[in-house]
Amino acid sequence: MKRNINNSLFQRAHVVSALGKSFTKLDPRVMVKNPVMFTVEIGTFVMFLVVMGIIFMHDTSQGKLGYNISIFVTLFITLLFANFAEAIAEARGKAHADSLRKTRKDTPAKKVFPIGELYVDEVHVVSSSELRKGDVFICEAGDIIPMDGTIIRGLASIDESAITGESAPVIRESGGDKSSVTGGTKVLSDKIMVEVSAGPGESFLDKMINLVEGASRQKTPNEIALTILLASFTIVFIIVCVTLIPFATFAKTTITIASVISLFVCLIPTTIGGLLSAIGIAGMDRALRANVITKSGKAVETAGDIDTLLLDKTGTITIGNRKATAFYPANGIPVEEFIRKAMLSSLADETPEGKSIVELARNMKLEWYPEEMEGMQFIKFTAETRSSGVDLANGTKIRKGAFDAMKRKVEQTGHQIPIELEDFVYKISANGGTPLVLEENGEALGVIELQDIIKNGIAERFQRLRKMGVKTVMVTGDNPLTAKYISEKAGVDDFIAEATPEDKMKYIIKEQQSGKLVAMMGDGTNDAPALAQADVGVAMNSGTQAAKEAGNMVDLDNDPTKLIEIVEIGKQLLITRGTLTTFSIANDVAKYFAIVPALFIAAIPSLQRLNIMNLHSPESAILSAVIFNAIIIPMLIPLALRGVEYKPIGATLLLRRNLLIYGIGGVIVPFIGIKIIDLLVGNYI
């Protein structure tokens, strides 16, 4: 899916729809949700009345018509710009969600009707939109799955490329942790029976689209707090501007309505006020671009605050599965002989470990005697024996398995485990490997070393997380010794070895009790309680319905490293809000120096010395400030949509850096901007 998304910020279609929305959003009932921009709308309306007054009542007390019209138009454009920012963010978010939703066009569904525990095999073909939660349908090879659901019977290979962009088919089957199917994906083989988990309009994607479109978009706690702060700034400036009128009268100056409203609009934080909702939507949109569906805007924000990250070892820290890396024969058995036996025991072994043993042996270019394979019988791994192997036609039994299981077996047959073999086992474990002991008819032959392959660059990512102040915890089923080795090598801060879902839950609760916010990723039904308990629970799309319901995000890529990206997206969201607020308020300094002298210069000529920008005339000074105030909004839209870059350099350094750029920059930029605009408009006013 990532490949299909056009990354340019302003696509023609989005811009066109956003332009239209900019006008419809002028509806005061909509505007009132944004107190800052709502006051601008009131100001614009008052300016409209003033302009009308000049035209029709020939009111001469308010200055030149052209000037008043210019102010009115600029204010009106300010409103449109702010609305445009929100609309374009919505349009982009919606476009991404839509492209995902497109996968679930109306498709025919083969509905079946259950009677008690039995399912009547009569198939009714209905439209997918008629399916409701709890309905059951079947899918065979070549069918498009009509709705999200859980497999209740069967197993199938499924092409999920429409959702994840990953072309390799995946296996989904009933019962296990991989029982979920997504509408729009295609069954490649076999037949499954699926129970619909969400009716039309109720899927996670639908919920996400509603969030983006604003229908159910609720302000997050942090956004509410910021809105309160911005509203209070607005009130302060209402007080400043209203009281200025008697003050001016006292100073024997008449100030026009246009000037007071201009001053007011310039002072209130319109920049952040206009961009605030766009920033929030863009945050969810960035999550969606990372192929993560968020169930609320709050979840994205919380992600930025995460203190502790629980990561599964397999897939996140290490590549897939363990691989055989070395053979250690014991009891004086020749190397070649040992390797051949190891290979023999694994030839029919379908597990990744088994395959890797064969692969390693082949790489050593051993000579092969295929006659031994004749009549060979493969013995599968079971939890009871904790070993697997082959029974050869000549009665020889070769087994490989965990050390303790094999030791018992060897000792039962009256043999001894050679001391050198125990040494190998210990060494391999201490190096983070998993020892597999090979045995033939009760006699220990040697050890195969299996190693986890740590992902390239993962240590750097953990380093980055540490700088962000996030503690990483590796969750693994390995024994503590192996877990310790891998955790040290990968650079995680802590690990949970031999982890059960209960252990995860306990760890999360322990962290939360000490006031930390915890994020985790999971897919199984037994992960569901922990996913619900975690502050940010990311369920894999391939996971069970229970897991997806319990978490507050769903990752379409089923990529365990996604958590790291999500944390950064959350931080970016807050930083963008903070820096633009600072920028917006810092701008006021220059605007004061433009407008205040202009207001009083007629009555108090000595105030010319406050006009440090040497602006052309009072009118052009005020107009320039208002124009600057308006155009800064669209200029910052790209920043609001992309987000301010997050640098993991520690909180204090980051604060210093952002203060320099957005605080000091926010003071300086408008001085330059207003001066340039004044040079351009000064001669026409």
Partner 1 sequence: MSTEILGILLVFVITIILAIPLGKYIAKVFSGERTITDFMKPFERFIFKLSGINPDREMNWKQHMVALLTINMVWFIYAFVMFLIQGSLFLNPDGNPSMTPDLAFNTAISFLVNCNLQDYSGETGVTYFTQLFVITFLMFVSAATGIAAMAVILRAMKEKVTDKLGNFFNYFLLSCTRILLPLSLITALLLAFNGTPSSYAAKASIKDFHGNNITVSRGPAAGMIAIKHIGTNGGGWFGANSAHPLENPNYFTNMLELVAQFIIPAALIFALGFYLKKKKLAYVIFGIMTLGFLLLVLPTIYYELKGSPTIEKLGIAQTTGAMEGKEVRFGPANSGYWSILTTVISTGSVNSMHDSSMPVSGAMQMLAMMTNAFYGGCGAGFLNYYIFILIAVFISGLMVGRTPELLGRKVEAKEIKIAAIIALLHPFIILAGTALSTYILIHNPNANWAVKPSTWLNNPGFHGFSEMLYQYTSCAANNGSGFEGLADNNIWWNISTGFVLILGRYIPIIGPIAIAGILAQKKYIPEAGGTLRTDTITFGLVTFGVITIIAALAFFPALVLGPLAEYFSIY
Residues between 510 and 569 with contacts to partner 1, criterion CB under 8 A: 514-516
Structure tokens, 530: 């922990």
Q: Please list every residue from 254 through 273 that binds partner 1, using CB under 8 A.
A: 267
Q: Of the candidates 180, 196, 6, 23, which has an alpha carbon nearest to the alpha carbon of residue 98?
A: 6
Q: Is 663 in the site for partner 1 (CB under 8 A)?
A: yes
72 binds partner 1 (CB under 8 A): no
Of 128-136, 239-247, 334-342, 345-353, which segment contacts partner 1 by CB under 8 A? 239-247
Cβ proximity of 143 and 158 under 8 Å: no
Please select the residue that binds partner 1; options are 39, 277, 558, 572, rule is CB under 8 A.
Answer: 572
Question: What is d(CA 284, CA 295) in angstroms, rounded to the nearest whole number?
Answer: 9
**Single residue of 58, 250, 369, 457 touching partner 1 by CB under 8 A:** 250
Name the residue among 608, 635, 601, 664 with its Cα closest to residue 270.
635
Residue for token pair 């209402």: 238
Q: Which two tokens stand for residue 557?
A: 């890529």
Asked whether the beta carbons of 188 and 158 are under 8 A apart, the reply is yes
| Nearest distance from C-beta of residue 572 to partner 1, angstroms | 7
412 touches partner 1 (CB under 8 A): no
Binding span for partner 1 by CB under 8 A among 14-22, 88-96, 472-480, 586-594: 586-594
Per-residue H/E/C for 365-380 = CCCCCHHHHCCCEEEC
What is the sign, positive or negative, of the torsion defined by CA atoms of 85, 203, 559, 510? positive
Give every CB contact of residue 510 below 8 A, 6+ residues apart in sequence: none
Applying CB under 8 A, does 588 fall inside the site for partner 1? yes
Are 666 and 639 in contact by the 8 Å Cβ rule? The answer is: no
- Of 20 and 650, the one with the shorter C-beta distance to partner 1 is 650
Q: Comparing C-alpha atoms, which of 152, 157, 187 is closest to residue 172?
A: 157
Please tell me the distance from the alpha carbon of residue 357 to that of residue 396, in angstroms, as a whole number.
Answer: 20
- Residue 251 contacts partner 1 per CB under 8 A: yes
Can you give the three-state secondary structure of 224-241, one letter per residue?
A: HHHHHHHHHHHHHHHHHH
Which residues are tagged catalytic?
312
Report the alpha-carbon distance of residue 575 to residue 585 in Å, rounded.
Answer: 15
Question: What residues from 282 to 301 belong to the interface with partner 1 (CB under 8 A)?
Answer: 301
Ramachandran sector of residue 424 (left: φ over 0; alpha: ψ -120 to 50; beta: rest): alpha
Pairing of strands 387-391, 397-401: antiparallel
Residue 172 has which token pair?
């989904």
Stretch of 409-417, 427-435, 476-484, 646-654 lying at the interface with partner 1 (CB under 8 A): 646-654
Paired residues of 323 in beta bridges: 451
Using CB under 8 A, pick the residue from 2, 102, 380, 656 that binds partner 1.
656
609 binds partner 1 (CB under 8 A): yes
Out of 34, 78, 579, 624, name the contact with partner 1 by CB under 8 A. 579
**Binder to partner 1 among 45, 119, 378, 592 (CB under 8 A)?**
592
**By the rule CB under 8 A, 662 interacts with partner 1:** yes
When asked if residue 604 is in the footprint of partner 1 (CB under 8 A), the reply is yes
- Structural Rg of the chain based on CA atoms: 34
Q: Measured from the CB of residue 461, what is the shortest distance to partner 1 in angstroms? A: 15
The residue range among 159-167, 409-417, 474-482, 581-589 that interacts with partner 1, by the rule CB under 8 A, is 581-589
Torsion over CA: 496, 497, 502, 506 (sign) = negative
The interface mask with partner 1, positions 415-454, x = CB under 8 A, is ----------------------------------------
The sign of the dihedral angle between the CA atoms of 143, 148, 150, 152 is negative
Q: Does 249 bind partner 1 (CB under 8 A)?
A: yes
Which residue lies nearer to partner 1 by CB, 291 or 658?
658
Q: Give the residue, chosen from 49, 123, 655, 679, that forms a contact with partner 1 under the rule CB under 8 A.
A: 655
Tell which one of 26, 73, 248, 319 touches partner 1 (CB under 8 A). Answer: 248
Which range binds partner 1 by CB under 8 A, 55-63, 199-207, 552-560, 656-664? 656-664
Nearer to partner 1, 95 or 474 (CB): 474
The reply to whether 243 sits near partner 1 by the rule CB under 8 A is yes
Q: What is residue 626's three-state secondary structure? A: helix
Per rule CB under 8 A, is residue 49 in the interface with partner 1? no
Q: Which amino acid is at 81?
A: F
Residue 638 CA to its chain's centroid (Å): 19
Q: Is residue 571 close enough to count as binding partner 1 by CB under 8 A?
A: yes
Instruction: Name which of residues 171 to 230 contact partner 1 (CB under 8 A).
Output: 221-222, 224-226, 228-229
**Which DSSP string do the residues of 516-566 spell out, in sequence order?**
--EEEEE-SGGGHHHHHHSSEEEEETTS-HHHHHHSSEEETT--TTHHHHH
Q: Which is nearer to partner 1, 248 or 454 (CB)?
A: 248
Alpha-carbon dihedral sign for residues 483, 484, 490, 495: positive
> What does the buried/exposed string (b/e) look like for 495-507 if buried means 16 or more CB atoms within 10 Å of the residue's CB?
bbbebebeebbeb
116: left (phi over 0), alpha (psi -120 to 50) or beta: left
Nearest CB to partner 1, comparing residues 13 and 228? 228
Give whichever of 542 and 658 is closer to partner 1, judged by the CB atom. Answer: 658
Among 477, 578, 634, 665, binds partner 1 (CB under 8 A): 578
**Of 365, 361, 356, 358, nearest in space to 324 by CA:** 356
Q: Shortest distance, CB of residue 570 to partner 1, whole angstroms?
A: 7
Report the residue from 400, 471, 504, 675 that binds partner 1 according to the rule CB under 8 A: 471
On whether the CB atoms of residues 26 and 87 are closer than 8 A, the answer is: no
364 scored as a contact of partner 1 (CB under 8 A): no
Selected range binding partner 1 among 11-19, 141-149, 194-202, 576-584, rule: CB under 8 A: 576-584
Among 18, 574, 622, 625, binds partner 1 (CB under 8 A): 574
Considering the complex, state which of residue 105 and residue 657 has its C-beta at the smaller distance from partner 1: 657
The span of 137-145, 356-364, 377-385, 604-612 binding partner 1 (CB under 8 A) equals 604-612
Of 120 and 651, which CB lies nearer to partner 1 in the complex structure? 651
Among 18, 77, 187, 231, binds partner 1 (CB under 8 A): 231
Q: CA 193, CA 214: separation in Å to the nearest integer?
A: 36
Q: How far is the CB of 251 from partner 1 (least distance, A)?
A: 5
Candidate segments 79-87, 326-334, 463-471, 539-547, binder of partner 1 by CB under 8 A: 463-471
Is 612 a residue that touches partner 1 (CB under 8 A)? no
- Tell me the number of residues near partner 1 by CB under 8 A: 75
Q: Of the ranges 54-62, 97-105, 396-404, 594-602, which one interacts with partner 1 (CB under 8 A)?
A: 594-602
Q: For strand 180-181 and strand 149-159, is the pairing parallel, antiparallel, or unpaired? A: antiparallel
Q: Which is nearer to partner 1, 302 or 542 (CB)?
A: 302
The enclosing H or E element of 339 equals: helix 335-346
Instruction: Provide the minimum distance between the beta carbon of 224 and partner 1 in the complex, in angstroms, as a whole number.
Output: 5
Regarding 232 and contact with partner 1 (CB under 8 A), the answer is: yes
